């Protein structure tokens, strides 16, 4: 088995099969024709990687899935139209009427909405748990618990979960662990080594990496492959070969992008920690973060996405002026691209199992491949709009 960077360059391609072309080409098709009726009607492994009909995948799809499965260290992977559909597939594979699902309270908002609006309607009892629960999850497991869902760190509030402890408790009762692995990526964490059974990626984020495609991918252990693959087929999900091509192209450079974005994010985060306008930086890679030790134990690096709690008082008008004054940070959803972004965190209102009431308003930053000194200068000039701004500490020249 090769090392991660080598896998990124080589997994999921076979030039010999494509006239020597380095990349697996874009195969567009709906219909696949067979030489004889017998060949057409001979049953094929419905979960295999044979080309039968466009909806089930083409060599472009399979190249992408193969590369992701190898990077994740799982048995096989299946692409879905976006990250959210990958979450839906994972949940729908295990949820049954009359079962109980344990969902982390810090989960991505639309995942929570899916539980509330769809799973509960189907008779699944969804119980939210404290992201810091660790081995204590054992007390919440029931005979009818269908799965434990994790997302570590939470992609708004950045609590790091003790997934190995959660997985040990769940596996002792033969309950599968599903995890949204979009922040760690397969580059910075190997999900199956820490006890995850079903790993979900919003490939829209770092795998695509260029803010121009929507894609999801679910990778599983051998045991859970068939049920997960079957759910994708039953829901009629399919992905465009053009998007698969772009996702695979993004994957090739994911390692270098992530490594550089991690350096940039740390630089910006450490600068923010020195500022009087900032109360706390919620970034597991910082020693000040309560989850830092777990992060060091279970991750190989940090995605360039973190939140910042501003020092109160900051009213809505000041917050808006600060965000609007930024010129290098786009205001918008998503992250994982090459460019920097900012959004305001509204996490307090959606919690049910735990309280999240930070001392001031919070913003979430995604740090891109820009020069971090330019990003710092941009943040510094925008901070003039915050009431806690101190002129004597202004300026990008402040070096830590």
Ligand X SMILES: *Cc1c(COP(=O)(O)O)cnc(C)c1O
Cβ neighbour number for residue 120 with a 10 Å cutoff: 13
Nearer to ligand X, 7 or 247 (CB): 247
Q: Is 338:257 a contact under the CB 8 Å cutoff? A: yes
The answer to whether residue 205 is catalytic is yes
* CB of residue 88 to ligand X, shortest distance in Å: 10
Nearer to ligand X, 83 or 209 (CB): 83
The closest of 348, 189, 376, 200 to 275, measured between CA atoms, is 376
Nearer to ligand X, 91 or 278 (CB): 91
Nearer to ligand X, 31 or 333 (CB): 333
Nearer to ligand X, 184 or 360 (CB): 184
* CB of residue 45 to ligand X, shortest distance in Å: 28
Q: Strands of 30-119 (E only): list them.
A: 76-80, 100-104
Confirm or reject binding of residue 162 to ligand X (CB under 6 A): no
Name, in order, each residue with C-beta under 8 angstroms of 291's C-beta and a sequence gap of 6 or more: 153, 158, 159, 160, 284
Site string for ligand X, 330-369 (x = CB under 6 A): ----x-----------------------------------
Helix (H, G, I), strand (E, B) or coil at 323: helix
* CB of residue 199 to ligand X, shortest distance in Å: 12
205, 252, 267, 280: which is the annotated catalytic residue? 205
Confirm or reject binding of residue 108 to ligand X (CB under 6 A): yes
Nearer to ligand X, 185 or 204 (CB): 204
The answer to whether residue 129 is catalytic is no
The closest of 139, 150, 146 to 99, measured between CA atoms, is 146
13, 70, 108, 129: which is the annotated catalytic residue? 108
What sign results for the dihedral spanned by CA atoms 156, 160, 165, 167?
positive
CA angle 304, 206, 47 (to 5 degrees): 145
Eight-class DSSP state of 117: I
Query: Which of 204, 221, 262, 307 lies at the binding interface for ligand X (CB under 6 A)?
Result: 204
28, 55, 173, 223: which is the annotated catalytic residue? 55
Contacts with ligand X: how many residues (CB under 6 A)?
15
The two structure tokens encoding residue 313:
């008082």
Query: Which of 58, 61, 82, 157 lies at the binding interface for ligand X (CB under 6 A)?
Result: 82
Bridge-partner residues for 364, per DSSP? 307, 343
Cβ neighbour number for residue 263 with a 10 Å cutoff: 14
The answer to whether residue 296 is catalytic is no
Cβ neighbour number for residue 292 with a 10 Å cutoff: 15
66, 105, 180, 298: which is the annotated catalytic residue? 180
Confirm or reject binding of residue 180 to ligand X (CB under 6 A): yes
User: In what helix (H) or strand (E) does residue 202 lie, and over which residues does it extend?
Assistant: strand 198-202
The answer to whether residue 180 is catalytic is yes
Q: Between residue 210 and residue 269, which ones bind ligand X under the rule CB under 6 A? A: 214, 216
Cα separation, 256 vs 239, whole angstroms: 26
Q: What is the bridge-based pairing of β-strands 100-104 and 145-151? A: parallel
Eight-class DSSP state of 160: P
Nearest to ligand X by Cβ — which residue?
83
Confirm or reject binding of residue 182 to ligand X (CB under 6 A): yes
> Which residues make up the interface to ligand X (CB under 6 A)?
82-84, 87, 108, 151, 155, 180, 182, 202, 204-205, 214, 216, 334
**Active site residue ranges:** 55, 108, 180, 205
């Amino acid at each position: 088995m090769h090392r991660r960077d080598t896998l990124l360059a080589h997994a999921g391609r076979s030039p010999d099969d494509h006239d020597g072309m380095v990349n697996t080409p874009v195969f567009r098709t709906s219909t696949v024709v067979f030489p004889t009726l017998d060949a057409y009607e001979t049953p094929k492994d419905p979960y295999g990687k044979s080309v039968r009909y466009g909806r089930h995948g083409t060599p472009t799809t399979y190249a992408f899935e193969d590369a992701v499965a190898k990077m994740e260290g799982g048995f096989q992977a299946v692409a879905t139209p976006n990250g959210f559909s990958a979450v839906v597939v994972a949940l729908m594979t295990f949820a049954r009427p009359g079962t109980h699902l344990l969902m982390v309270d810090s989960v991505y908002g639309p995942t929570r909405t899916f539980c509330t609006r769809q799973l509960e309607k189907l008779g699944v009892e969804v119980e939210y748990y404290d992201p810091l629960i660790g081995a204590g999850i054992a007390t919440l497991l029931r005979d009818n618990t269908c799965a434990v869902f994790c997302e570590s760190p939470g992609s708004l509030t950045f609590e790091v979960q003790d997934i190995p402890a959660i997985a040990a408790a769940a596996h002792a009762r033969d309950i599968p662990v599903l995890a949204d692995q979009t922040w760690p990526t397969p580059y910075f964490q190997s999900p199956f080594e820490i006890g995850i059974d079903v790993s979900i990626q919003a490939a829209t984020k770092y795998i695509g990496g260029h803010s121009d495609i929507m894609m999801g991918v679910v990778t599983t252990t051998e045991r859970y492959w068939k049920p997960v693959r079957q759910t994708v087929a039953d829901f009629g999900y399919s992905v465009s070969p053009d998007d698969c091509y772009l996702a695979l192209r993004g994957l090739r450079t994911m390692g270098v992008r992530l490594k550089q974005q991690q350096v940039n994010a740390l630089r910006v985060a450490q600068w923010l920690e020195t500022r009087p306008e900032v109360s706390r930086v919620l970034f597991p890679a910082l020693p000040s973060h309560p989850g830092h030790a777990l992060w060091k134990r279970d991750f190989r690096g940090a995605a360039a996405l973190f939140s910042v709690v501003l020092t109160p008082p900051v009213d809505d008008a000041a917050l808006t002026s600060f965000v609007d004054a930024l010129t290098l940070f786009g205001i918008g959803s998503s992250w994982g691209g090459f460019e920097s972004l900012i959004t305001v965190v509204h996490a307090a209102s959606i919690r049910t199992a735990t309280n999240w009431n930070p001392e001031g308003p919070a913003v979430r930053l995604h740090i891109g491949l820009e020069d971090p000194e330019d990003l710092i200068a941009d943040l510094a000039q925008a901070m003039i709009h915050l009431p806690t701004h101190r002129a004597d500490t202004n300026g990008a020249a402040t070096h830590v």
